[in-house]
Amino acid sequence: MNDCLFCKIVAGDIPAKLVAENDNFLAFADIAPTAPVHVVAVPKTHYANAAEFADADSQGMGQFMQFITEIGESETSNGYRLVFNTDADGGQTVFHVHAHVLGGRAMQWPAG
C-alpha cells in the first residue's frame, strides 16, 4: 500500500534488521526498543489492524500466531509478551497490522 511504512520495509525500500522471514511474514527489530528483546512482526499483505487481518484471513492469522510464538520461544529464555496495539486507545501508530514480541526482562502488569 502506498505510504505504509511497514509495506515499505516488506518491499525492502526501508532497511530493517531482520529477525525472521517466510513467504507470508516478516519480523524485524523495533527501531525504538522498549525491552532487551523487541521484535515487530507483520504479514507481508497489508491489513490495517488485527481485526481486519483475522476477518479477511483467519487461517493466515493462525499461521501468524505460530510465527510470532516461534520468535518468542527462540529470542527469549524466560517468557515473553505478544501485543497487538489497535487504533487510538490501543496506542497504534503504524496502521499495518503488527505484533510486538517483547522479552528479556520482566514485563509489568497491568499495562500502562
The catalytic residues are 98
Are 26 and 42 a contacting pair, CB within 8 Å?
A: yes
Q: Are 45 and 96 in contact (CB under 8 A)?
A: no
The answer to whether 85 contacts ligand 5GP (rule: CB under 6 A) is: yes
- Residue identified by cell 527501531 is 31
Could you check whether the bond before residue 36 is cis, i.e. omega within 30 degrees of 0?
no
For residue 4, state whether it binds ligand 5GP (rule: CB under 6 A).
no
H helix intervals, the chain: 5-11, 50-56, 58-75, 87-90
Q: Is 31 in the site for ligand 5GP (CB under 6 A)?
A: yes
Among 45, 63, 69, 92, binds ligand 5GP (CB under 6 A): 92
The reply on whether position 91 binds ligand 5GP by CB under 6 A is yes
Based on CB atoms, which residue is closest to ligand 5GP, 31 or 65?
A: 31
Q: Which of residues 2, 59, 78, 93 is near ligand 5GP by CB under 6 A?
A: 93
Residues that bind Zn ion (CB under 5 A): 1, 4, 6-7, 46, 96
